[in-house]
Structure 1
Amino acid sequence: MKIAVCVSHVPDTASKIYIGSDGKSIDQTGLTYVVNPYDEFAIEEALKTKEKFGGETVAISLGTDANKETLRKALAMGIDNAVLLKDDKYRDSLSVAKALADEIKAQGAELVFFGKQSVDFDNSVVGQLTAELLGYNCVSVVVSFSLDGNKITCEREIEGGKEFIETSLPAVITAQKGLNEPRYASLKGIMAAKKKVIIEKPALQSENFVEVIAMKRPPTKQAGRIIGTDVSAVPELVKILHEEAKVI
């Protein structure tokens, strides 16, 4: 069985983000990039599935040479092979999905893992779009996964509860925190990853349907107001909440 895992190269969530001079992109100065946190759960589940059922794993990433750092991390964790789809232009989610679907089809992967979202754009749709383009079944926000032959059983998070789903291969699974505990790369794995060749291919080109018009920082929070220190302030507080804040 061929198992693919799609990984994003994203700014570290601890980084201070500034808007670039064009007003619609991120200033790259001093930014540290890492493997998308949700994709680590996807990598781990791909590895666990291979360890249980055998087969071959491949990590796929779309971007520039900088993405090789994230692919090396996947290789160090235990992924067998890595493919970099090279492109340095802005892409919307559908354009990303088309390029990934094209490579997944070429790889002949029956089972594909994604993180539920990337922490840079937070659109949460690339996995689902890729599944639709491939004609694969799809289960998103998965916190429990099992495979028995061709049958897949998943537990996923929904608003106010959990949902249990059965489907079959071929399938795309998007991983949520709680699905597993991602392993640390061993020294042996890190050294082996340095020797592995990352296959580079030009990414499939397609039209963007979404354009970033502008980026803006959230407005600065206004200073708080102290209405009073005892119950006598309650009527004034209620009046302000009703007339100014308009929340009651």
Structure 2
Amino acid sequence: MKILVPVKRVIDYNVKVRVKADGTGVDLANVKMSMNPFDEIAVEEAMRLKEAGTATEVIAVSCGVTACQETLRTAMAIGADRSILVESDAELQPLAVAKLLAAVAKKETPQLIILGKQAIDDDANQTGQMLAALLGWSQATFASKVVVAGDKATVTREVDGGLETLEITLPAIVTTDLRLNEPRYATLPNIMKAKKKPLEVVKPADLGVDVAPRLTTVTVTEPPKRSAGIKVADVATLIDKLKNEAKVI
């Protein structure tokens, strides 16, 4: 079984994000970038399926600028066999990424696509669902456990009311949640080996996909700063402030 794992290059989760002075977007100058944490979980799950003998090949794929090759090398250092970069300098929105991944999937014919439920830069949570719709495949989102047997996959997913277990038919799309696994660290020998693994670079035009943005960002602003707390004399004053100032009751 072949597994495709899309990975995204995002601002490292330890970095404090800064908004540009003109409000047109987020400042990326001299900012540390890394693989989206949810996608790290997806790569780890694919590797566990391969180590269990369920999968025979794991392919990492990324869409974006040339620097995304670093993210793909990280995925291969974790264990992916090869990788594909759909290189584009355009702003890639979720629908465009889903179309690119669908084109790659039709070319590579994987039986399973595992990706993070969302990216920590835009928190869109759309690409996996759009990809399933474009391909017409089964989907299971927010997975906290995945078991593959034959042409079926049993996925335990996290929902607001608890856990839900689905049985889906392959080929399928699975999006990962935090509690699915704990990603391994890439060892130095594997990082060196990853440099020799094949990395294919294609353009959106090669896949016949139009990646023109459908949405326009009007402005980007930082969240309001938290104001200092105050002390109140009694419960009546507290209730009054909650009702008339905070307007939460």
Aligned equivalents of 1:12, 1:210: Cα separation in 2: 25
What secondary structure, in the 3-state scheme, does the structure 1 residue paired with 2:178 have?
A: coil
| TM-aligned CA deviation for residue 21 of structure 1 | 4.5
Q: Does 1:47 align with 2:52?
A: no
Q: Output the aligned Cα RMSD.
A: 1.3
Structure-1 residue corresponding to 2:27: 27
| TM-aligned CA deviation for residue 110 of structure 1 | 1.5
Structure-1 residue corresponding to 2:107: 106
Q: Is the Cα–Cα contact under 8 Å of residues 7 and 36 in structure 2 kept in the other structure?
A: yes
Structure-2 residue corresponding to 1:246: 247
Cα-to-partner distance string for 1:23-59 (whole Å, 9 max, x where unaligned): 2221112210001101111001111112222421110
Aligned residue-pair number: 244
Q: Is the Cα–Cα contact under 8 Å of residues 117 and 177 in structure 2 kept in the other structure?
A: yes
Aligned equivalents of 1:108, 1:58: Cα separation in 2: 11
Residue pairs, 1:54-133, within 5 angstroms: 54-133=55-134
Q: Does 1:216 align with 2:226?
A: no
Structure-2 residue corresponding to 1:4: 4
Gaps of 5+ in 2: none
Cα-to-partner distance string for 1:67-96 (whole Å, 9 max, x where unaligned): 111100110111001000001111221111
Aligned equivalents of 2:21, 2:230: Cα separation in 1: 35
Q: Is the Cα–Cα contact under 8 Å of residues 77 and 183 in structure 1 kept in the other structure?
A: yes
Q: Is the Cα–Cα contact under 8 Å of residues 93 and 213 in structure 2 kept in the other structure?
A: yes
Q: Is the Cα–Cα contact under 8 Å of residues 62 and 85 in structure 2 kept in the other structure?
A: yes
Structure 2 counterpart of 1:17, one-letter code: V
Aligned equivalents of 2:202, 2:212: Cα separation in 1: 19
Q: Is the Cα–Cα contact under 8 Å of residues 3 and 55 in structure 2 kept in the other structure?
A: no
Q: Is the Cα–Cα contact under 8 Å of residues 8 and 39 in structure 1 kept in the other structure?
A: yes
Structure 2 counterpart of 1:243, one-letter code: N
Q: Is the Cα–Cα contact under 8 Å of residues 64 and 92 in structure 2 kept in the other structure?
A: no
Q: Does 1:162 align with 2:163?
A: yes
Aligned equivalents of 1:32, 1:54: Cα separation in 2: 33
Moved more, 122-131 or 47-56: 47-56
Aligned equivalents of 1:137, 1:181: Cα separation in 2: 25
What secondary structure, in the 3-state scheme, does the structure 2 residue paired with 1:59 have?
A: strand
Aligned equivalents of 1:53, 1:223: Cα separation in 2: 55
Structure-2 residue corresponding to 1:184: 185
TM-score when scaled to structure 1? Answer: 0.94
Structure 1 counterpart of 2:221, one-letter code: K
Structure 2 counterpart of 1:58, one-letter code: I
Structure-1 residue corresponding to 2:13: 13
Moved more, 134-143 or 185-194: 185-194
Aligned equivalents of 1:109, 1:182: Cα separation in 2: 22
Q: Does 1:143 align with 2:148?
A: no
Aligned equivalents of 1:140, 1:146: Cα separation in 2: 14
Structure 1 counterpart of 2:237, one-letter code: E
Structure-1 residue corresponding to 2:236: 235
| TM-aligned CA deviation for residue 223 of structure 1 | 2.3
Cα-to-partner distance string for 1:154-202 (whole Å, 9 max, x where unaligned): 1000003110111110000001111122122223211110112311000
| TM-aligned CA deviation for residue 22 of structure 1 | 4.4
What secondary structure, in the 3-state scheme, does the structure 1 residue paired with 2:14 have?
A: coil
Structure 2 counterpart of 1:88, one-letter code: D
Gaps of 5+ in 1: none
